[in-house]
Amino acid sequence: MEYSIGIDIGGTKIATGIVGQQGNVRYKRIHPTPNSTNREIVDLLKQTVSEYMKLATEENINLVSVGIGSAGQIDYKNGRILSGTVNIKDWNNIDIRESLSHTTNLPIYLDNDANTFAIAEHQLGSGKGVDDLVCLTLGTGIGGGIVSDGNVIRGKWGGAAELGHMSVNFNGPDCNCGSKGCIETYASGTGIANRMREKLNSIDAGKRISYTEHPDMLTSKEVFEWNKTGLPEAKEVIDQAITALSFGIVNMIHTFNPSLIIFGGGLAEANRWLIEEVQNKVNAIGMPSLVKGVEMKVSKLGYDTGLIGAAYQVWATSK
């Protein structure tokens, strides 16, 4: 069996592993994402690749590639990080392929982490056998990947499908992309926490303290917990997130005409009930001929989807 080294680079952690062509993860490690310089991350990648190559030699594992998925805007053709994300410090203008070429003679693939998520789901997960689908990763931010007629849509150099930065309100909150009212500002973990802070700042101080003494430490997890208890302010924030996500998905369905929407990421995994809420709202507000029959599912591969998709690039590309 052929194997590939997979590397999934996120804002808080970097998952690495040796992954087989059937999606089986033979070895796996989790590293905290270095937060000082990009050189630290590149050095970690070099060390990881070297260690896995040595392990593969010792255990007679047939390695055929190194596949990397990373947050940020990726020059897919040339293997470069063009511009990163606020969650990863100094993650801009880095030639990953060139840096790792001194460590391995294996072919090196680099893509946006939402695209690698889409590759994994299309080839092995909830989208297996479906050639027109949209993938959304709901976490700290919102990533997007699109498969049309069996192919990942990347655009001119790899920057397509920034679906989390589709605006649903031009008078909405400022987004770190420079626009306003992006889906991410309402329905990502960061967006939900920010909208809840605004609610807390507008209510009586005594009541606010009874919810949290440190609103700056608030996360979406608390907001979802408060929503369960019936806290009106939390319910407003979650309802707003569902509405923003639903209108955004209607736009995606009207644009790409998929047959399936797949959700991944920590926020979706922890709150699967959201998907049914979004499905019902999309069916109510979308063009009937387009939204009818569009299924919505949570990732079948779970938390390893990004790692598997990163490693799988070599096989997806060769088909």
Contact 122, 93 (CB under 8 A): no
CA 102 – CA 230 distance, rounded (Å): 56
- Catalytic site residue from 75, 111, 113, 304: 113
Beta carbons of 201 and 215 less than 8 angstroms apart: yes
H or E segment to which residue 162 belongs: none
The answer to whether 110 touches 79, Cβ cutoff 8 Å, is yes
Tell me which residue has tokens 């924030």: 237
User: Residue 260: which H helix or E strand, with range?
Assistant: strand 260-264
Question: Sign of the CA dihedral 11, 16, 22, 26?
Answer: negative
73-75 sheet: strands from edge to edge:
73-75, 80-83, 94-95
Closest CA to 16 of 265, 312, 304: 304
Tokens of 228: 């369960």
Q: Give the H or E element holding residue 250.
A: helix 232-256
Distance CA 189, CA 51 (A): 34
Burial tier of 116 (Cβ tally within 10 Å: 0-12, 13-18, 19+): buried
Q: What are the CA-CA distances from residue 145 to residues 36, 154, 159, 205, 230 (Å)?
A: 29, 9, 10, 42, 34
For the question of residue 304 being annotated catalytic, the response is: no
Residues annotated as catalytic are 113
